[in-house]
Copies of this chain bind each other. A is one copy, B any other.
């Protein structure tokens, strides 16, 4: 089941602000209503906590730990909206970022594809609708 303890972080490597984006096309969880598997693509985008602040010590998420954390949803019954908000909340708790954005893009069910966007803080305008 979803396990944020799998997440690891490392220190922000630069004093100049920058933006990190990780896209996973291999996310899967289970629909709690029908028991059918859901498949989606997850985009995580964030600006790490400014170097020199206490939060910067755990400012960037380690990539392999992110993969394992995503895999912990594999057999969890959970709705699209809940996945999106859960990912945002767990990663914000880990990273204390300047801002953070989660976009979950789900394969069709019943002929309807869905995209959920969940933000934290002031996501710059040029990233908002992407």
Contact = CB atoms under 8 A, between A and B. Distances in A.
A22 B113 contact: yes
A54 interface: no
Interface residues of A, number: 52
A7 interface: no
B22 A118 contact: no
Number of copies: 10
Contacts of A130: 126, 129
Nearest to A115: B21
Interface in A2-45: 13-14, 16-26, 28, 36-37, 39
Contact of A114 (B17, B21, B37, B79): B21
Interface in A49-90: 60, 63-64, 66-67, 71, 74-75, 79, 81-82, 84-85, 88
Interface string A119-130: 110001111111
